[in-house]
Amino acid sequence: MADAQPVTAAERSIHARKPAAKRAAGRELSGHAKLFAQPAYDGLAGAEPFLKRLIPILIVAFLVVVATARFVNMSEDRDRLLTAAEHMTALSLAAASATFSADTTPVKQAQRWETEARLNRVLGAMPDTGGRYMVVVDAQDRVFASTSGGQHLVGRTISSLLRESSPLWLFGARAGVQEIGFDGADYLAAMARLPDGAGAVLALTPVSDMNEAWRQSVSVNVTLFIATSSILLVILYAYFSQAGRAQEADGIYLESHRRVDMALSRGRCGLWDWDMARGRLYWSRSMYEILGLEPRDSVISFGEASRLIHPDDGDLYEIAQKVASGDIKQVDHLFRMRHAAGHYVWMRARAQVVDPTSAQTHLIGIAMDVTEQYRLQQRTAEADQRLFDAIESTSEAFVLWDRDDRLVLWNKHYQEIHGLPADILAPGTPRATVEAAATRPVVARRLAVPCARGVAQTYEVQLADGRWLQINERQTRDGGQVSVGTDITPLKRNQERLRDSEKRLMATIGDLTTSQSELKRKAEELSELNQDYQVEKERAEAGSRAKSEFLANMSHELRTPLNAIIGFSEVLQARMFGPLGSDKYSEYADDIHNSGIHLLTVINDILDMAKIEAGQMQIERENVDLVPLLEETMRLLAIQAEKKGIEVQQRIPAHLSLPADRRAMKQILLNLLSNAVKFTEPGGRILVRARKTSRAVTLTIEDTGIGIPKALLCRIGQPFEQVQNQFSKSTGGSGLGLAISRSLAELHGGAMKVRSAEGVGTIVSIRVPITFPDLRAAAE
């Protein structure tokens, strides 16, 4: 019974929303009407979990508040008890102190009973003793007398009760009430000194008695709180049990509703309930989703629904009149409805009158979204039309037969080629009837079709007017046949022309065979000449290598005599063995020395170039500092530069170094600077610069010499090449300086670049990479 309560309540809520006339006309539709109440139920279902969570929170909060209030109250009670006990202790001490201060008789052992009687009178006058007792201490600091409850302290020294550093011992009554402990118990104590050192009065209130009273109060409060909490927890448990059963019933209802709603949404289908007497329509949520409208928990009016229907797809009022008059009992209508986005959705509505005998007409049915099906039908019709247009516009004769050899489809070319009358060509005409009415071909032969036996066949026919047709027939999947006839008259004529051309070609081939024999003979002759050329080429290359190797090996034989000539001429110049007979001999000795030096320089350049060409020049890399190397080179050319008044400047950063062969770099600098000094006119300037990047070091030598014509720049750097002009002829030279410098730079993996303007000057740049692979390893 508990499980059915939520459903019954939901039904009552749904029926309450319906008009009274609708309940009377269609009580059997209550199950369908539940679907339309979903939005309101969703709102209630959305609020219910919040209330379920809020109730236990409120109960727990109530218990926490009660517990906090009782805890604060009990804490305040204990504070009040403690304050009252301190006050009563202070009052008892004050009363006893006043009693003993009035009588200054010394306290003696024989007066103990009298002293205790006086203490009991003072203590009895108090409204609430609370376990309190008082003791009297004599002049020797021993407990002399005590009220009941403190007899066990008689005879003990005051030091066993109080520490000498205690404020009560030091200040007496001025210290007020203090909490002390002895014999394992805590006491509220107050102490007053008697006049004339007669002793002291000490009031003691046990804290345990006060705590016992407070614990009894706490016990009562805790018991009441636990009883209240238990009752509330039982109520909370009963609430959750009932709520769980209600939630389970709600879950069953929501799950069934969700399934129906999901089925409608996935199927693009909507439920609607038409109360024609009231002119109202009840739509399911899926109906609103199909039209892109916001779902709502209210009916849609007859006029509002009619405005959504396309005006060309019928009138909703007309359908309503037919149903109301009894002309139709069922509705099956295809129409368009306007979507919220502005476009139209094709719908197919089917409905039936619920109770034809009822005075109030009531319909219920479904509406399906058939937009995709309608568009598919349109595309199919358009595709059929395009196919028909394509078949009609093709130049081939096309005909299609079904599996029973009846005519299905044809085009006008098929009718024209076969001369068929129009009354014969009709869908369903037997194939034998159509072929009997067609004109007979003059020639007909069947062609072989590879890999198509039983599926396709090809014919060639010649018509009476001389045209040729190639007819291809192929079987369709349903057992019919499609036939396509292609006009191959131009192809047949081309075949005839090809046969004539073939005859002429055979004659030409004979002539070509003769010419081919002649060409073959000439090719053999050219092959022999090529072999002779290769032999001569190899012989020339061998001679060149022999020349280079000879020059490289003649280094010692050529340099030794020259060194002797130069040495003896220097002996003559220095007059080591006495003066020469004539100044003429001195002049000749200078000429011999200068000529020997010049010849040695030329021979050194030739031999260095030969070694480079022969591949015998090896470089050994080391870390070379450019500034000292440049200064060393400039010392060799300083005299020549000073004679011509040439200013030599260098802009090289300090400690600029690169991995290179020191001798090769010195030779490059010497050759380039020597050329710059040689071809720079007196009063000129030479600038040496260098810069280092992450990959290479670039060395630049710039002069203001005679320059090189632009047309001759391409020859600079080639062995034995010199730019011939009047100045260069007078200076002489072998023409190998730049070639050697270029070759040495390339051995380092770098390059040399020359820029010059005639009459302005020349700039020579040498680029040497910092990291350079082994050329010999790369060659291998």
Q: In this model, does residue 254 exceed pLDDT 70?
A: yes
Average pLDDT for residues 711-726, to the nearest whole number?
61
Rounded CA-CA distance 93/100 in Å is 11
Rounded CA-CA distance 591/572 in Å is 11
- Point out the least confidently predicted range of 41-45, 196-200, 470-474: 41-45
Rounded CA-CA distance 44/246 in Å is 13
Walk across the sheet containing 481-487 and list its strands.
407-410, 397-401, 481-487, 468-475, 456-462, 443-447
Rounded CA-CA distance 245/52 in Å is 13
Q: In this model, does residue 23 exceed pLDDT 50?
A: no
Average pLDDT for residues 612-617, to the nearest whole number?
69
> Can you give the pLDDT at residue 43?
42
Using one digit for the tens of pLDDT, what is the confidence trace for 273-328?
777 777 777 787 788 888 888 877 667 777 777 888 888 877 777 777 777 677 77
Burial of 236 (0-12, 13-18, 19+ CB in 10 A): middle
pLDDT band at 498 (very low <50, low <70, confident <90, very high): confident
94-108, 194-208, 704-718, 749-763 — which one is most confidently predicted on average?
749-763
Average pLDDT for residues 507-518, to the nearest whole number?
85
Q: In this model, does residue 774 exceed pLDDT 70?
A: no
Q: What is the DSSP pairing of strand 143-146 with strand 300-301?
A: unpaired
| Token output for 448 | 């072989």
| Token output for 137 | 């201490």
Rounded CA-CA distance 766/698 in Å is 6
Q: In this model, does residue 66 exceed pLDDT 80?
A: yes
Q: In this model, does residue 446 exceed pLDDT 70?
A: no
For the full predicted model, state whether its pTM sits above 0.75.
no
DSSP single-letter state for residue 157: B
Backbone angles phi and psi of 331, in degrees to 5 = -120, 125
- Comparing CA positions, the residue from 740, 694, 701, 705 lying closest to residue 720 is 740
> Can you give the pLDDT at residue 605?
67
pLDDT greater at residue 438 or residue 447? 438
59-73, 254-268, 732-746, 753-767 — which one is most confidently predicted on average?
753-767
Q: In this model, does residue 488 exceed pLDDT 60?
A: yes
Q: In this model, does residue 12 exceed pLDDT 50?
A: no
> Can you give the pLDDT at residue 688?
92
> Can you give the pLDDT at residue 698?
92
Q: In this model, does residue 71 exceed pLDDT 70?
A: yes
Q: In this model, does residue 730 exceed pLDDT 50?
A: no
Three-class secondary structure of residue 300 per DSSP: strand
Q: What is the DSSP pairing of strand 443-447 with strand 344-353?
A: unpaired
Rounded CA-CA distance 421/433 in Å is 12
Q: What percent of the chain is predicted at pLDDT more than 90?
A: 3
Q: Are 696 and 769 in contact (CB under 8 A)?
A: yes
- Point out the least confidently predicted range of 73-87, 716-730, 749-763: 716-730
> Can you give the pLDDT at residue 336?
87
Q: 476 — alpha (psi -120 to 50), left (phi > 0) or beta?
A: beta
pLDDT band at 47 (very low <50, low <70, confident <90, very high): low
Q: In this model, does residue 5 exceed pLDDT 50?
A: no
**Amino acid found at 337:** M
* DSSP state string for 409-424: EE-HHHHHHHT--TTT
Distances from the Cα of 107 to the Cα of 111, 136, 201, 203, 318, angstroms: 7, 9, 11, 17, 128
Stretch (H or E) spanning 757? strand 751-757
Overall size of the chain counted in residues = 780
| Token output for 347 | 């719908």
Q: Which residues contact 21 (CB under 8 A, 6 or more apart)?
A: 275, 277, 278, 360
Using one digit for the tens of pLDDT, what is the confidence trace for 732-754?
455 677 888 888 888 888 988 88
Average pLDDT for residues 350-375, to the nearest whole number?
78
Rounded CA-CA distance 157/12 in Å is 90
DSSP single-letter state for residue 693: -
Using one digit for the tens of pLDDT, what is the confidence trace for 146-172?
888 778 888 888 888 888 778 887 777
Instruction: Find where tokens 């080429």 sit.
Output: 537
Average pLDDT for residues 509-535, to the nearest whole number?
86
Rounded CA-CA distance 191/203 in Å is 6
- Comparing CA positions, the residue from 565, 566, 585 lying closest to residue 575 is 585
> Can you give the pLDDT at residue 702?
92
Burial of 468 (0-12, 13-18, 19+ CB in 10 A): buried
pLDDT greater at residue 190 or residue 593? 190
Mean pLDDT of the chain, nearest integer: 76
Average pLDDT for residues 351-355, to the nearest whole number?
76
Q: In this model, does residue 667 exceed pLDDT 80?
A: yes
Q: In this model, does residue 7 exceed pLDDT 80?
A: no
Q: What percent of the chain is predicted at pLDDT more than 70?
A: 77
Strand partners, 348: 334, 368
